[in-house]
Structure 1
Amino acid sequence: MSRPSVWAPKIVALIKGGNSSAAIAQIKVAPTVKDLQDLRKLLIAANLLKPHPNVDAATNDMIAELSAPRLHRSP
């Protein structure tokens, strides 16, 4: 049985605390697409996407990057 990830709530706490630049840095090294989707759900529920358009763009960009097939595979 897998444990729920605590990554998304921590990022929401960074944004609520006013440190959106640190949140964006964490979004850029997000563990999985599922974590990013969970983060977006929490941000939508807390109405934090509209006041932070840069966070909105970063989450969308990283979801697209992590969802895309890899161009190079390691041997």
Structure 2
Amino acid sequence: MSRPSLWAPKVLALIKGGNATAAIAQIKVAPTVKDLQELRKLLTGARLMQAHPNVDAATSDMIAALSSPRLHRSP
């Protein structure tokens, strides 16, 4: 049984604390698409998505990057 990830609430706390730059850095190394989707859900619920368009763009970009198939395989 796996535990729910605490990544999204921690990144949300960074954004609420006014440190959007650190949040974007964390978004760029996000563990999974599911975590990014959970963060977007939390941001929408807290009405912070419109206040931070750069965070919105970063989450959208990383969801697309993590969702797409890899262009190469490791040897």
Q: TM-score, normalised by structure 2?
A: 0.99
Q: Distance in 2 between matches of 1:10 and 1:73?
A: 32
Structure 1: gaps of 5 or more residues: none
Pairwise CA RMSD of aligned residues? 0.4
Percent identical pairs in the alignment equals: 80
**Which residue pairs with 2:38 in the alignment?**
38
Compute the displacement of 1:38 (Å).
0.5
Residues 1-48 of structure 1, C-alpha deviations (whole Å, 9 max, x = no match): 110000000000000000000000000000000000000000000000
Compute the displacement of 1:72 (Å).
1.1
Q: Distance in 2 between matches of 1:54 and 1:72?
A: 29
Q: Secondary structure at the match of 2:12?
A: helix
The letter of the residue matching 1:30 is A
The letter of the residue matching 2:53 is P
**Moved >4 Å (runs of 4+):** none
How do 1:4-43 and structure 2 match up within 5 A? 4-43=4-43
Compute the displacement of 1:69 (Å).
0.2
The letter of the residue matching 1:56 is D
Q: Secondary structure at the match of 1:51?
A: coil
Count of aligned residue pairs for this structure pair: 75
Residues 31-74 of structure 1, C-alpha deviations (whole Å, 9 max, x = no match): 00000000000000000000000000000000000000000110
